[in-house]
Amino acid sequence: MALPAPLIERPMHADDVAGVGAVERASYQFPWSEPIFHDCIRVGYLCRVLETGDAIVGYGIASMGAGEAHILNLCVAESLRGRGVARRLLLSLLKRAELAGQQWAFLEVRPSNVRALGLYRSLGFVEVGIRRGYYQAVDGREDAIVCRLALKDLNPSGAVR
């Protein structure tokens, strides 16, 4: 199935938060609140949205400092999953981090999020640790797998050099 055209990536603004929040709530049992997204914009994190027409269909947020980028949130609307959209958005965040002088990228992911794990591994992320009980879950807490990527090892096609 073809992607909606055009699919535009741009900076996230405060007036995007309602649309971002809608995608977040449709995607996660324990979503971030809209004030968290506002705070990410306010403190100057790298906040990007994907839109088609007048609808937000994805977003990514990263913090940067001390040579490290931390991917804090990456989400694409259900209708676009499995079509390379999350890869495109993540690559954009990683390339922007590298251009900003960061050497490493880190992220956490639920072990149960097999699709996301596959994406991260395909880009060269390696598992470097576990954060026990990191995520809220229906039956208590779920661990997080901590992943790391040397940004110098990412090439424009998204494959590890």
User: Quick one: the chain helix, strand, coil %, rounded to 5?
Assistant: 35, 40, 30
Residue partners of 121: CB distance under 8 A and separation at least 6: none
The reply to whether 142 belongs to the active site is no
Q: Is 41 helix (H, G, I), strand (E, B) or coil?
A: helix
The reply to whether 134 belongs to the active site is no
What is the distance in angstroms between the CA of the first residue and the CA of the last residue of the chain?
30
DSSP label at 4? P
Check 24, 51, 59, 120 and give the catalytic one: 120
Check 28, 108, 127, 134 and give the catalytic one: 108
Helices (H), the chain: 17-27, 34-42, 85-99, 114-122
Catalytic site residues? Answer: 108, 120
